[in-house]
Every structure is written in C-alpha cells, then in structure tokens.
Structure 1
Amino acid sequence: MTNPASFPWIIAELSQSGTVSIEDLHNEFDDEYDLTYGEEYLKTLKREGIIERLPTADGRYQVTSEDAFAAEREKFDEASEYDTQDFDRALVISVPSPLLAQFSEDDFDYPIPMLQLDQALQRVLIDTEDVIRLGVPYLEGDGLDRFADELYALAEQGVSLRVLTRELLVDNPADRDLKAARDLLDKYEDRIDNGGTIEIRDFYHAMPSGRRLDMSVHFKMAIADQTSAYVGSGEFRRSSMYKNGEAGYLVRSTDEARFWAQFFDFFWEQADQVTRTRLES
C-alpha cells in the first residue's frame, strides 16, 4: 500500500527542523487526500507521544521523543515490495483517516499490490481512452470533486462518460443528489471536445404501492473502456475515501474488464435517462 505523500513529507520536515505545522502542510499540498490524512497523521503522532503541539497560530508541532521518532522514520526508509505502476491486479482498501497511521501492511499477508481507494479510482480514470463507466448508486459532489482534474481531462480528450445511479427520478429526490448530477453534467459538457458525450441514467424501481423497493443498482464500479476495472464496496464519495472501511479489487485484465463492462451495460440498457429538465425541475 502506498502511503499519502504527506506522510514522508511530514517525517522529512520533522527530521530537518524538528517542527512542522498545519500551515506548512497546506502550503505544500492542495490535494484533499494528502491534507486529510496528513492532519490525522500529525494527531496520531501526538497521541503516541512522538510530537507535541506548540501554542502557535499556525498549528505547529515539535518532536518530543527522539527515540520514538527514529523508530517512526524507519518505516519510510524501507523500499516498497511492489511497483504499483505495473500490475494486473491489486487489492483496494479504504481505512478511516483516524486509523490510517495505525494501519501497517506488515500485519497483513497479501500476494499482490495494495492501493487506497482514491489511488485505484484515479488509475482507472487515467487508463481510459474512449468510454468511462461509473456505477455510483449515491451520487455526491464531494467525491466527484476529488477527481475533477482527471474527469475534465477526459472530457477534453473526447472520452464519453456514462454514470449509472439511482433515486434521481423518484418523487422528491434529495436536493444534494440532483445538484451533484447537475454540476457534473454542466462541468463535463463545458469541457467536452473531440466528440465525447456524457449521460446519466437511473435504475431504481419501487413496488406498485411505492412503499417497497422492487429492484435497483447498488454496485460500485469504475471501468476504463474494456481494459481495467475497479469493483468494490467503496465509491466516489468522501465518506468512502476518508471515513469508511472499504474493500475491493482493481483489475487490469481485458477479459475481466470486458465482463464488468458488459455487466454494467446490462443494467445501463434498462435504466432511465436522467434529463436536464428533470435535474432542474
């Protein structure tokens, strides 16, 4: 598993000067993944008595135990066993940010690379050349915003985006869900070039009484063309990436990715199109 870039940066800052601050962290990183886990990592180091908080406005910490800090630093001096730039299959996990610093890959036996959920989703987006399929039952803006750069780069490259979700066409849908869908549609369309498209469809049906679920989609997927696919419990939501324990796989196998694309398309063909009129009503 690859640690957030903010972890070794914090260790390096503490090694060089003996202090580091929240303000320094925000000046160095603008990625939510690195900032969120970086702040939690500082809190964990404080709880373990390795650093202490100073009474300064910038949220500065300093090393209090050199021995404990030296042991912590050794974790980042060890080379990774896997090259995550080249693999056919990877385990995908998400650990709640308050627990990430306590999560040690040395405690687990795993025969293939291990990635954080954000890293896996980002890899699928980067792998896409023609069509990106997203199974996102709970469409939330905060998760999609995490990958804004990658999504809009795909739009500019002419990649078609298909988003399969649920409960946008029910009576009284959640305002935040409608807003997330509307914002995604607007922003992607604004950047589309080279013949790309975006379409959002909804698959959710209640019983005739309207009180009980008949059928819906609940799978979480991200599929790049028919070349790579993420399938798991986590999705494009902030809670999935930073607050929940999630588990899944990333495969970079044509045969497996083709199956998941076909499975996605089975529901896609039976889903209802979410029109702009519906989103703005």
Structure 2
Amino acid sequence: MRINPSVKNALIDYLEGNVGKFVSLQEIINRAPREATDQEILFILSEGEFEGNIRKDRKQGLDGYTIVKSMEKKEKLNDVVLVISKPELHKFGLEGVQARNNQIETRKCFCDIIDSSKHFLRICSPFMERNVSAPDSIPDFGQRIANALKRGVQIKLLSRELALRRGNEVDWMIDIAESVGEKKSLEIRDYHFLNQTGTKIHSSTHAKMLIADHSMAYVGSGELREYSLAVNFEVGCQLKGPIVVGAVEIFDSMFQRGVPYDR
C-alpha cells in the first residue's frame, strides 16, 4: 500500500511526542491528520509495530499502543509543492486533496514569492492584466510590488507582443515603479518574434514563472491575471532548493533574447 508521505510524517510527529506512553487507538485516529483514512492509519501503525517502534496494548478497557521509541521518517518531503487555482464551482472537490497533500493555492504561492524576494524578482507572464488586483485575486498586488521595489529588489518582467498591441498590459507596472521612484529597478522585455514576412509567429513566450532570488520559484500554468487566479483550474509547482538555480538560468537566457520595452 502506498502511503501519502505528508500524512505519514504528520502521524509520526504525533507518536514521537508520546514515546514511553500508552495512546488509545481512538485517540490516534482523532489526532491524525483529518485527511488521513483509517486504512492509512492502521497501515502506519502495523508498520511501526513490525519494526518494534510501537507495541499493541490495552489499558483501562481501551485498545491502543505503547510507543516504545521514535519511528523513522523514511520518506522525506520534496522541495517541490503542487500549487493549484481552484475554480469556484469545483473548489470544494479540491480542498480535501489540497490539504491532504500539503498543496497551496496559486495566490498564496505568488504572494510568498514576491514578499520573500530580497534582490531579484523574475516574472514571466505572457498575459498579464491589471485585474490581478481584483478582490478575488491579489487585491494588494500593486502594494506588494511597490514594497519589493522599495526594499531594493530588481524586477525583471518578460512578456509578449508588447510592441505590437499588448503594451498596456504592463504599463501599469511602470506606473507602480514610478510612484515609488524606482523605475530604474524595473526592466521589461518583450519576447515575441514573427517570421520574415510577418505572417506567422517565429518564436514567442508562453511560459509562466515567478522566481525570488535563487531561493523559491513557481513554474506552471498560472499567471498574473484574475481569470488565472480565481476562475480557471491551474496547476503548477513551487520549487525550493538547488533546482531554483536552473529555473533562474532558463529565465535569464530567454530574458536576454527579449527586446527591451518602455512605453
């Protein structure tokens, strides 16, 4: 049986706090993560019993276990967390899955990345709209960007078709930078190239990425607009650790090939 590592580690944490004590089975079930199934709990307990970490016992008429010693967490959680945007009509069907797997919402992931940036904030959003600040999205998005600029963060923004027709989708970012006297700290580039006849796209960006320094990144289908945060079903990953270095290198490589944009 494949056990969810998040559920297993949470249950082991609880059992470790009771080493040398008797804990009833009902109490274990009550204190286990609410997303855990009874089958998972019993499997984890039987595994611990087989390894000699816990012992079946009965006290005061209650079935339970005496916790003999700490149980080893054999499966360490990755530095990768799934990130989801939940459509309003289906969000209740996803909330249990989200909690069970330590997943987070796209809005929270984006805010965490923006707020944690200290030196560089890299954004790749092919379709970026002012309505990202809508009440059901990130209402204080503009303030978060302004705060990042004021604390000395350099922002690199990569988008598409800015010179052709979409410049207004990023001009409001320039407004934010100018409002705090940090326009020089915002660099915008346009990655969208047509073929020689101008009739077909030769190369363009459709990637969605947010990266804080070399410490945290988002890669997925979500982007900085209301539909992506509050209406559409989107899935991505929040990355931490050495893997972020690779994400930075990919972004910088494409950013260097973009055309500088200013309104």
Match of 1:161 in 2: 155
Match of 1:28 in 2: none
State how far apart, in whole Å, the 2-side matches of 1:107 and 1:159 are: 31
- Aligned-residue offset at 1:187: 1.3
Letter in 1 for 2:218: Y
- Aligned-residue offset at 1:103: 2.6
Moved over 3 A (4+): 78-81, 106-110
Match of 2:185 in 1: 197
Match of 1:63 in 2: none
Determine which of 222, 238, 245 is the counterpart of 1:250: 238
- Aligned-residue offset at 1:196: 6.4
**Which consecutive unaligned segments of at least 5 residues does structure 1 have?**
1-77
Match of 2:81 in 1: 90
State how far apart, in whole Å, the 2-side matches of 1:182 and 1:249 are: 28
| 3-state SS of 1:91 partner | strand
| Deviations 1:240-263, CA, capped at 9 Å, x for gaps | 11111111100121x111111110
Match of 1:220 in 2: 208
- Aligned-residue offset at 1:149: 2.2
Letter in 1 for 2:160: R
- Aligned-residue offset at 1:96: 0.8
Percent identity of paired positions between Structure 1 and Structure 2: 24
Letter in 2 for 1:89: V
* RMSD over equivalenced CA pairs, Å: 2.6
Contact 1:91 1:249 in 2 (8 A): yes
**Structure 1 residue 126 corresponds to structure 2 residue 128:** no
Give the TM-score, by structure 1 length: 0.61
| Deviations 1:101-128, CA, capped at 9 Å, x for gaps | 3334259973xx2001101111111210
Aligned in 2, Cα 1:88/1:234: closer, same or farther, shift over 3 Å? same
| 3-state SS of 2:162 partner | coil
| Deviations 1:49-92, CA, capped at 9 Å, x for gaps | xxxxxxxxxxxxxxxxxxxxxxxxxxxxx9677xxxx9833110
**Structure 1 residue 206 corresponds to structure 2 residue 197:** no
Letter in 2 for 1:105: G
**Which consecutive unaligned segments of at least 5 residues does structure 2 have?**
1-31, 36-76
Match of 2:229 in 1: 241
State how far apart, in whole Å, the 1-side matches of 2:168 and 2:34 are: 41
Match of 1:139 in 2: 128
Determine which of 124, 142, 148 is the counterpart of 2:142: 148
Letter in 1 for 2:246: F
Letter in 2 for 1:224: A
Contact 1:121 1:222 in 2 (8 A): yes
| 3-state SS of 1:105 partner | helix
